[in-house]
Each structure stands twice: as C-alpha cells, then as structure tokens.
Structure 1
Amino acid sequence: MKNVSLLIIVLMCAFGFKSSAQESILAEINYSTLEKYIQAAKENLIKRQILGLNAEKAKADIPITTLGYLDMVGASYFWRPQSKSAIDANNPYIVNGFQLGINVSLGSLLQRPFLIKKAKIDYKIAQLEMKDYDRTLANEVKARYYDYIQQLNQLKINSQVVQDGKNVAENLKYKFEKGEVTLDVYNQSRVALAGANSSKIESEVSYLKTKDALEEIIGKKLEEIK
C-alpha cells in the first residue's frame, strides 16, 4: 500500500498540477496588448496596405471624374485683321476681329453623372473591402494570440512538472537507497520524469511556432510591442 501511494504521488506531480493550472488561462489574456498586436498587423501587413491604397485611389477618382465635365467643353477662336476684307470668297462667314466657338460633347455630358456615381460606388466598395479585411485580420491575430498564450502556459506547466518530477525522483532515490521504497517505485518516478521532459521539449517547440506565427502576422517581434 505504501508503494502504491508513492506511485500515485508521482503521477499527481506529473498530471495534477497541469490540470489545475489550465483552469486559469483566461487570466493570462491581456486585451490591451492584443489590441496593440491588431493595430501593428494593420500597419505592417502588405495586403492591408494595398487595400488602403486602393481605397485612397478610389476616393481620388471621384473629384477627377467630376472635373471631367470640363473635358466635354471645347473652346476655339479665330482672329481676322481689320485691314482685310470682311467678305471672303472661300469662307464668307468669317468677319473681321475675334470669333469664339464652344463645342460640347453631348454623349460625354450624358455619361458623366453615371461615371461619377460609379466612382463613388467604387470608393464605397474599397472601403467595405478594407473593413471586411480588418475584421478578418483582427480575428486571425486573436486566434494566433490565444494559441500563443496557450502554448506559453503549457510550457510553464510542463516546466513546473519537470521540476516537481525531479524533486520526487530525487526524494525516491534517497528513500530507495535507504531501503524505504522498492526499485519499481523508484523506476516509475524516473519514467514519469522522462515523460515530463519529453512533454516539455514538445511544448517548447509548440511555443516557438506559435510565437513565430503571431510575429509573422503583426510584422514585429513581440518584444518590440510596448
């Protein structure tokens, strides 16, 4: 019974702390930092910058299209010296002095209101596309941040489990040498410690991957975000 109790202690050290620590992961979420990550992603992602430039371009097209009314009007003038005869056999309509003429493209005039409306719609579409992308981007940053926090806490948990496992293994080694526990119990502690070390290594890799993924989308090292 004594040996069984010791083995249970070993297993509790390996798994009990992990279960209780996971319940507090929500307390690790820093929403102020998360908002900074989202803002950094908006500022640094090239695709988002392209959408922003497209929106600016669409906005600039509105006044340009409106000013297109001026392109439909053409003005011309003709000057004939007073010293010449007002009657010209080749062009009897020409008289002395200045003559002004204005030409208006009726087709362009009728199209212009629709072109202006189209430019405004294009700008609205560009705005909506950027707004939709910002929402998707924010959700992706949040997802990667939550994964990062999860793996960070998992690493802390596994590190603690390893430390607890070492303490238990050393204690059982001492008891085994004194003949207070069997070799089987001592070996079980060593097996549990080896498993804890393996889990810690795996959690370290997972932590680094989630950190890289988060830094990729925000365009900066986490340490640079203050």
Structure 2
Amino acid sequence: MKNLSKFTLIVLMFISLDSFSQESIIGEIKYSDLEKYIDLAVKNYPKVKITDVNVEKAKTDISMNAISYLDIFNASYFYRPNNKTAIDVINPYAVNGFQLSVNLNLGNFLQKPYAAKKAKADYKVAQLQAEDFRLTLATEVKKRYYAYIQQINQLKIYTQSVQDNQNVADNLKNKFEKGEVALDTYNQSRINLTIASTSKIQTEVNLLSAKDALEEIIGMKLSEVK
C-alpha cells in the first residue's frame, strides 16, 4: 500500500508537468513588438554605428581619391627681375619675369585608376558588411526575444507546479497526521515541492538574464518601449 501511494504520487506529478510542457509559446509571440525591438537594435546597437561609419569612411575615400589626381602634377615657378639682362651666359634660356613649369609623376599617374577602383571596391565591401551585420543583428534579436518569451512561459509552468505540489503536500500532511498515508508518501510530496520550488527560482534567474540580454541589444529597457 505504501509503495502504491508513492508510485501514484510520482506519476501524478509527472503527468501534471507534462501537461504544462505541451503548451505552445507560438501564440505568445508578438511580432509587432519583435519588429520594434529589431528597429531599436539597428538604431542603438554600437556595432551598427561602427559599420555605418565604415561605409561613410569608404565613401569619403572615393572622393579623396578623385581629388588626389592633382597630386600627380608638381607645379613650380621662377621669377627673374626685369632689370636683369635677358640673355644669361650661364642660362641663356632664362627670360625676365615669371616662368611656370609643370611636372607629371608618371608612376602616380598610372596607379590612379587602380587606386580609384580599389576605393570603389572598399566602399562596396563596407556596404555589404553593414547589410550583413544588420541581418545578423535581426537574427540575434529574434533569438533573444524568443528566449525571453520562453522563460516567461517556463516560469508560468513552474509557478503552477509549485502551487500544485504545495496543495498535494498540504493534503498529504493532513492525511499523514491522521494516519491515512505512510511517512514515505508524505516525505516524497515535500521532496517534489522542493524540486518544483528550486526549478521556479532557477527559471526566475533565467528570465532576468533573458530580459537583460534583450534590453542590452535593443539599447533600452523593455518597460520604456512604446
């Protein structure tokens, strides 16, 4: 009789937990909230800003490379006062007044098209990296949001489990005091209650961690999201 009571209690406990575990969380997902969280992450997450800065930097490099075409030319001038003799024995080609000369750096001139092509390629890479990071970020936000919803529902399960086990333990306590059930059966009910309570506490910690992780990536408290 003692073994039967103990077995019955354990079976009822697992049946109760299994019935809760079969509930789906899909209905708890609010996709409007999820879209808000993704938008906030794109707006507030520092690494997004870093990728945007890299894109802007690469775009600026294209403009700088276009202007740098002037670097291939070296200009200089020479001034000879008008009161000097135009014909100079040392330099018979010198004339009075200003003389302007322009030199072309052939090596730089040949490199410029390749430098321009590289600058455009770097800009495209920066754009693709920024786009790729946004997709990765959206996936990460979804993962953290789903984990948060999961822990909310997990907490509901263990809260109900604690209540059920508390009711069973109280009921068996009364029966034990009346001599209607064995000590082993009553002790098992207390053990089940302790297990359920411990699971509830751990789930509360997991929920707080999931909430913190979601708030960290969206850059604000969930209570502040409108």
TM-score, L = length of structure 2:
0.81
CA RMSD between the two structures: 3.0
Aligned-partner Cα distance in 2 for 1:151–1:194: 20
1:215–1:45 distance in 2 versus 1, CA, 3 Å? same
Q: Distance in 1 between matches of 2:138 and 2:42?
A: 9
Look up the SS of the partner of 1:90 in the other structure: coil
* Alpha carbons 1:18, 1:157 under 8 Å: kept: no
Q: How does 1:15-54 map to 2 (within 5 A)?
A: 15-16=15-16, 19-20=19-20, 22-54=22-54
Task: Give 1:182's aligned residue.
Answer: 181
Tell me how far apart the structure 2 counterparts of residues 96 and 15 of structure 1 sit (CA, whole Å).
109
Task: For 1:95 and 1:195, locate their aligned partners in 2 and report how far apart those are by CA, in whole Å.
Answer: 104
Whole-angstrom distance in 1 between the partners of 2:213 and 2:137: 13
Matched with 1:88 is 88
- 1:87-106 aligned at under 5 Å gives the runs 87-106=87-106
How many angstroms apart in 1 are the aligned matches of 2:166 and 2:194? 10
Q: What is the identity, as a one-letter code, of the residue corresponding to 2:64?
A: I
SS of match in other structure, 1:165: helix
SS at match of 1:92: coil
The CA deviation at 1:207 is 1.7
Equivalent residues of 2:20, 2:157 under 8 A apart: no
- Measured in 2, the distance between the counterparts of 1:100 and 1:150 equals 78
Separation in structure 1 between the aligned mates of residue 7 and residue 165 of structure 2, nearest angstrom: 12
Distance in 2 separating the partners of 1:101 and 1:59: 34
Letter in 1 for 2:93: Y
Distance 1:61 1:210, change over 3 A: same
Q: Which moved more, 1:112-121 or 1:13-22?
A: 13-22
| Residues in 1 aligned to 2:41 and 2:72: alpha-carbon distance in whole angstroms | 45
State the AA in 1 paired with 2:50. I
What amino acid is aligned across from residue 218 of structure 1 in structure 2?
I
Q: Equivalents in 2 of 1:10, 1:173: separation in Å?
A: 16
Amino acid at match of 2:123: Y
Quote the Cα distance in structure 1 between the aligned partners of 2:137 and 2:214. 12
- Find the residue that maps to 1:42 and give its secondary structure: helix
Shift of 1:4: 6.6
Letter of the structure 2 residue corresponding to residue 57 of structure 1: K
State the Cα distance separating 1:178 from its structure 2 match: 6.3
Q: Secondary structure at the match of 2:153?
A: helix
Alignment of 1:1-226 (within 5 A): 12=12, 15-16=15-16, 19-20=19-20, 22-174=22-174, 181-183=180-182, 186-226=186-226
Aligned residue for 1:125, secondary structure, equals helix
Contact 1:73 1:104 in 2 (8 A): yes
* Post-superposition offset of 1:47: 3.3
Amino acid across the alignment from 1:202: Q
> CA 1:68–1:40 in structure 2 vs 1: closer, same or farther (change >3 Å)?
same
How far the C-alpha of 1:159 sits from its partner, in A, is 0.7
Deviates more, 1:151-160 or 1:141-150: 141-150
Per the TM alignment, residue 187 of structure 1 is displaced from its structure 2 partner at its CA by: 4.6
Instruction: Answer with 157-166 or 116-125: which moved more.
Output: 157-166
Secondary structure of 2:75 counterpart = strand
What number of residue pairs does the alignment pair up?
224
Deviation at residue 175 of structure 1 after TM alignment: 5.5
The CA distance in 2 between the partners of 1:166 and 1:189, in whole Å, is: 8
TM score, norm. by length of structure 1 = 0.81
